Structure 1
Amino acid sequence: MTAIVPIMTSPISGSGPVRTLVVDDSVVVRTVIERILNADPRYAVVHKTNSAEHALSYLADNAVDLVLLDIELPGQSGLAALPSILQASAGVKVAILSGKCEEGSAAAVEALALGASDIVSKPGSGSFGEQFPQALIERLNRLFDGGSTVPMPRHVPQSAPQSVAQPLACVGIGASTGGIHALGQLFQGLSMPLGVPILLTQHLPLSFTVYFAQQLSRMTSLRVKVAETGDLLTPDTVYVAPGDANLQLRKGLHGRVTIQLNPDRTPAGNLPGVDPMFASMADVYGAGAAGVVLTGMGRDGTMGARDIVAAGGWIVAQNEASSVVWGMPGSIASAGLSCALLEPAAMMAFIARRGKVCA
């Protein structure tokens, strides 16, 4: 069965078709993909190749918007080449197109960790049916339809550090493209527990949520669980938003805070979304809320960050140099909402120090 998994979104440019590079070891697959995409005016295959080395050589002199990348290639594998491809073409989205990358597989999770924007499980070269072309186009349209990456000013405005008048009560983390790798660095920087619950929204589909939580539990000594409606928040537990719902909070009797999952997509099309999580944290915890925005395409998290800052809380964003895509954290920085721009490894120490100031 063909499995096509949405990971993240960004808008189709109005300046022309999406320039696409197809990298696959099969000439049949390259030809079929070219025909499918070129039949749609929104896409244009500008180059095809059967190796990662040739793809990197092409990207050295040519800009593209999308790379459809096979995993099994002669010479360097697609996964091994993925970081170099992302670095070679700023803002490019890479969709893994492979018959060896099923949902939840080790290869799929690794691709997401390295910064892949989408996972497309292709049928065999002799079994491209009528449904695959339409499904592929629809998935790519979604990939290019949603929150955008806005160019950042050369000098990013920074808000003055907010005064902290309330102890740290909850940390919320939002991430997208490249976020799994960044999260590993972030949790490695946690030398001792913060003593507060940690909420996490990583842009992933539902089918990957359990595998992601399992991987995350190997990154940290903290308890990790996929969030469920009714979960009572406890300190030093990481609650992961499932792929089909926003992670939001509800404050009940005696100040008990529980999780309430919301299946509605954000206006930008994100599900799960960082904005609803941050907004809910601001409502429940006020100045005790702290948000972290890691690498990712688009602006998800910016609106919610405004709510946290308005409530007296504070936001830390990933710096540009360490980000795979500086869309989400860059939007936070551009809006003057961040009290610090840091690499992920330094974030937990900063949060612990800042939290102690008000404890």
Structure 2
Amino acid sequence: MMYTRVIAAAGLAAALLMGVAHADDVKTQVHYRYEQVGNVKVFYREAGNPAAPKVLMLHGFAASSFMYRDLIPALADRYHVIAPDLPAFGFTEAPGREEYSYTFSQLAKTIGAFTEQLKLDKYALVVHDYGAPVGWRLAAAHPKRVSAIISQNGNAYEEGLGDGWAPIQKYWREPTQQNREALRDFPTPESIKWQYLEGVSDKSSVSPDGYTLEGLQITRPGNAEIQLDLVLDYANNVAMYPDFQKFFREYQPPLLAVWGKNDPFFLPEGAQAWTRDIPEADIRFYDTGHFALETHGDEIIPVIREFLDKSIR
């Protein structure tokens, strides 16, 4: 009789453990969805309990929500994570240049409406590259919605702009067709691959999936012209840096910067500058390039998780 009870208890314990494991799997399962926002069909990745604190992830160039493929499930057991593809990137379906204005202001309007349709009334922001000025606009417009900020090479200070911006800045000053043509090699698969590998000491640590997928996206009809439109409009982001910095100073959001220090576009000085406006900002550098999560995810993801646990849980 005792033997039977022991076996039954062991079976019940195993079943309970299996149930817990299954529940954890369900919580971290990533779902792939679309949300119609005006004339844009926004693709997004979602995981976690909708009742949990929310984390909004905004990717940059040349990437998509795919860049967060490891970070999303790593947070989803405690957070409700949502990562959209910006218009002209990833799987988001957006009109051509004739029907949609490809400016950062317009991208922010689309993503802002997206957050409202999904009822994201408070969230931590995770930003990278182009996702930063989109996120800064959302934060400046609705500062109390942003519970914390994590920036992976997403800039907000002029001293963060590296030498790689020189030909682009020339285009800002003189937006001629000649200067546009001089940037024609920027939105190409070759340039995108270079961006993923530049500043990385061990290039075998960079999966080819990211730059191959983004290289295919950039060759879609009309996409190169859209990217050149965004390059030109980036000057408006720089002009708004004082407004974004005012938000940082006034609202003092918890901020973590996890920065690839060898990034040719966004220099470490841009990350360090946050301590002027947010003295308690946590600034960390990694020996890698523009896409730090690609090479140092094992180091960075636990830091992000610890930061969120301390800041918003």
Fold shared, TM-score > 0.5 on shorter chain? no
Q: Which of the two has greater helix per residue? A: 2
Q: Which of the two has greater strand per residue? A: 1
TM-score (norm. length: structure 2): 0.32
